[in-house]
Amino acid sequence: MWTGADPSPRAAINARALEAELRWLDRVLQLRLAGHFGQDDAAGVALFATATAATAPLPDPPALPRDGATDDHDLARLIRQGGLGPAERLVLALALAPHLRPQLLDLLFVSNRNLDRGFCEFGGWKGRHHGGFLPTVETAAFLVAGEDLARRFELRRMLDEAAPLRRLGLVRLVHDSPGEPWYGAALLAGTDTLDLLCTGEARKPDYSAQFPAKLIETRLDWDDLVLDAEVMDEVQAITTWARHGEALMRDWRLEKSLKPGYRCLFFGPPGTGKTLTATLIGRQVQADVYRIDLSMVVSKYIGETEKNLAQVFDQAQHRRWILFFDEADALFGKRTATASSNDRHANQEVSYLLQRVEDFPGTVILASNLKGNIDDAFARRFQSAVYFPMPDAEQRLRLWEGMVRHTGRLDAEVDLRELAERHELAGGAIANVVRFGAINAMQAGRERILAADLRKGIAKELRKEGRTV
């Protein structure tokens, strides 16, 4: 949010570090081009005398400050965290350049006069609005490897999903042209990395069409959640895995026999606490909980649903997020017999979801009103399926007490126990009744919520469910 204040000291330190890194990238680019075109640049010949002389080391990158020094910066921390060498730092600088100094890459627009087009060995792609040169993996290969195949292969290993550059989200690869070379993938800076280096703050992704998930939080705590002991035991088991799963896999040597991640299903009537439970688990283990917005994910166009979901899973892959799919049967419903191309497409979506959920190393929670609506292939892969039943009379009394008694606005004649025993309502419905009662009292100019206000609210809730008082 814009405050009008000067940039933070952290951002200023980062800016100086990035200036040095970009100057180094510029020097490498100048030398690489000089060697490629056989120019008589003394320094260039020393490093890249010919197009195949890529065995010489890169110029030394800028020195890093000591860990914890006053001039330490976020770029240095990322480099140390990933153990990045000069080649990996060069790839990261190349991905950052279009955002920080786009004119630096203009040299790569040079045309091959013999073929009347650009040099394919320089890679690159054109954006829709950006006028500068946007790098691809081929561009990185030109800088790091030249025509040295061994170094070219090393770059591919360096950009593997499990390697630090991508595992830590420092860079991303986007390749949406099947059949074209892997090196043609767009080389993009990680969004979180770019935010951290530019602002000095690790910002959370914004909800948008490119990231159809919302961070969900609550001011409630475990005392406000009314569940029976058996359900709480199941929930605490999920919490234990979310907090200690990595240690269990690594230190207990379970990674040989178990897939990473934890998948669970919350099912039961609406308003029984499924979303609140997921949010409280995240708070307890200090993990962000993102609710997937199905309205922005599901698309009638072939391949779009999978693409939308990939944007969420790709960003969450190496973070400690909890992914929460509310009303999950809209996405994870049962597969059907393939009577048409639409059926085949729907089944492909379910299969894709199954694969992404099963491979996700974090915690995934699916919520549904009916367990039977979820595809059996998903159900078999859940580590737990937790049923959230309608609260009994004692639990309903605790819900009524917790929602309205502390306000001091309840009329003395209101008998909450009588309401709890007489009307079977879920926690979400009780919250709606309390809200309606407060509105009704306010409209009537009263300071207290009467029993009549609550009875009207209960009648409204029961009508929504097709029931009568």
pLDDT in tens, 189-233: 988 899 889 988 777 777 776 678 899 999 999 999 999 999 999
- When mean pLDDT is compared across 12-16, 115-119, 417-421, 442-446, the lowest value belongs to 115-119
Q: Give yes or no for residue 255 having a pLDDT over 90.
A: no
The pLDDT-based confidence of 54 (bands split at 50, 70, 90) is: very low
What is the Cβ-side half-sphere exposure of residue 93, based on CA atoms within 13 angstroms? 29
Q: Which residues of 262-292 are buried (b: 16+ CB within 10 A; e: fewer)?
A: bbbbbbbbebbbbbbbbbbbbebbebbbbbb
pLDDT of 40 reads 47
pLDDT in tens, 322-345: 999 888 776 766 555 555 555 455
Between CA 194 and CA 196 the distance in angstroms is: 5
pLDDT of 333 reads 61
Distances (CA, A) of 304 to 70, 308, 348, 464: 47, 6, 12, 34
Reported pTM: 0.73
Nearest alpha carbon to residue 221 among 280, 278, 273? 280
Q: Give yes or no for residue 2 having a pLDDT over 60.
A: no
Q: Which helix (H) or strand (E) holds 214?
A: strand 213-215
Around Cβ 147, how many Cβ atoms within 10 Å? 15
The pLDDT-based confidence of 46 (bands split at 50, 70, 90) is: very low
pLDDT in tens, 437-457: 999 999 999 999 999 999 999
CB 366 within 8 A of CB 331: no
Nearest alpha carbon to residue 143 among 83, 187, 82? 187
Residue-range domains of the chain with CATH: 9-199 (no CATH), 213-387 (3.40.50.300), 393-464 (1.10.8.60)
Between CA 197 and CA 10 the distance in angstroms is: 9
Task: Show contacts of 216-223: CB within 8 Å, 24+ apart.
Answer: 216/275, 216/278, 216/279, 216/289, 216/290, 216/291, 216/324, 217/279, 217/283, 217/289, 218/276, 218/279, 218/280, 218/283, 220/276, 220/280, 221/280, 221/283, 222/280, 222/284, 223/402
Nearest alpha carbon to residue 317 among 100, 155, 152, 169? 169
pLDDT in tens, 344-387: 555 666 677 778 888 888 999 999 888 777 777 777 788 999 99
pLDDT in tens, 263-285: 999 999 999 999 999 999 999 99
